[in-house]
Amino acid sequence: MITAAAAGLGLLIGLSLGALGGGGSVLTVPALVYVIGQDAQAATASSLFIVGIAAAAGALGHPRSGHVRWGIGLAFGVVGIAASLAGTAGNRLVDPNVLLLSFAVVVLIAAAGMLAQIRRSTDDSAAERRLVHSGGTAAGTSPAPRREPPRATSDSGVGGTDRRLTAARAGKVVAAGLLVGFMTGFFGVGGGFVVVPALVLALRMPMQQAVATSLLVIALNSTSSLLARAGSAHFDWSVIVPFTLAAVAGSLAGKKVADRFSGMALTRAFAVLLIAVAVYTATSSIIGLAS
């Protein structure tokens, strides 16, 4: 029964991870705690293995599409290693219910940021439509030029403009990488629920690129945090193995799901997923603290 439940949950989480570039680990920890029955510390350790493997498998499906931003993804991973070790140390000192409640708060913040991005994009599109319908003129002025989406610059920063843009983004990459690394170690998650908003909101990366790059970051962060826990964590392989195999299958199928939907639809689905999981986790944690 536990094996079947683990496989079913793994498939669902893998689909989410492959399609959205995050959400897999957000679902994995609560699923292992509330459905499988693991304690918070064991669930966070198991989640690192499951999500790391699934993310690596999902990332393999993206390079041919050209969506993976390797330079930014590797920068996130390298910067976050030390922070993930600090987060892992903090994980052992926190009450499980406090850990899960904090987890829910962070997820809600990420969801709010994604919804704000949707609203801004919708407002910009509406303004452009009004401009087109009005002829794009005001008191004899010439039509405003159509605003094209920003072109992705190369990670290598070839050319003066690209170097300036890369330098301007470097601080954001470092700050976001440290945050993601700490979250990975502290909450036992790959960090996709932070990586995707960071890439979309801070670096203005298109959703499809953010999803693909997030999978690379998740795999790197999960590996470093898992190595930090290897000597002390308990792993229930009867749960982890079927969960992981199903999650890998789901993540590969999730890539096909992502190709069928627009970036706006994926962003909205990601935000709704985060809110639902955060509300349930927060409610259960508060009940646990009160009892």
pLDDT at residue 51 in the model: 80
Mean pLDDT of the chain: 76
* 141 falls within a domain: no
- Flag whether 25 is in a domain: yes
Q: Which residues of the chain have pLDDT under 70?
A: 20-25, 61-65, 134-169, 189-193, 255, 258, 262-263
Does 197 fall in a domain? Answer: yes
40 in any annotated domain: yes
Using alpha carbons, select from 104, 153, 111 the residue that is nearest to residue 20: 111
Q: Which of 79, 45, 105 is nearest to 281 (CA)?
A: 105
Give the structural domain span for 88: 2-128+161-290
Would you state the pLDDT for residue 65?
Answer: 64
DSSP string, the chain: -HHHHHHHHHHHHHHHHHHHSSSHHHHHHHHIIIII---HHHHHHHHHHHHHHHHHHHHTTSGGGT---HHHHHHHHHHHHHHHHHHHHHHTTS-HHHHHHHHHHHHHHHHHHHHHHHHHHHHHHHHHHHHHHTTT-STTPPPPPPPPPPPPPPTT--SHHHHHHHHHHHHHHHHHHHHHHHHHHHH-S-SHHHHHHIIIIIS---HHHHHHHHHHHHHHHHHHHHHHHTTT----HHHHHHHHHHHHHHHHHHHHHHHHS-HHHHHHHHHHHHHHHHHHHHHHHHHHHH-
CA angle in degrees (0–180, nearest 5) for 60-243-259: 35
Q: Say how far residue 157 (Cα) sits from the centre of its chain.
A: 25
**CB count in 10 Å sphere of residue 41:** 18
Verdict on whether the full-model pTM lies above 0.95: no
Output the pLDDT for position 63.
Answer: 59
- Over residues 238-256, the pLDDT tens digits come to 899 999 898 888 877 876 7
Q: Is residue 14 part of a domain?
A: yes
Domain assignment present for 155: no
Residue 133 in domain: no
Q: How many CB atoms lie within 10 A of CB 279?
A: 14
Residue 147 lies in a domain: no
Please count the structural domains in the chain: 1
Q: What is the pLDDT of residues 41-55, one digit of tens each?
A: 888 888 888 888 877
Which percentage of the chain shows pLDDT scores above 90?
Answer: 2
Q: What are φ and ψ of residue 270, in 5° steps?
A: -60, -45
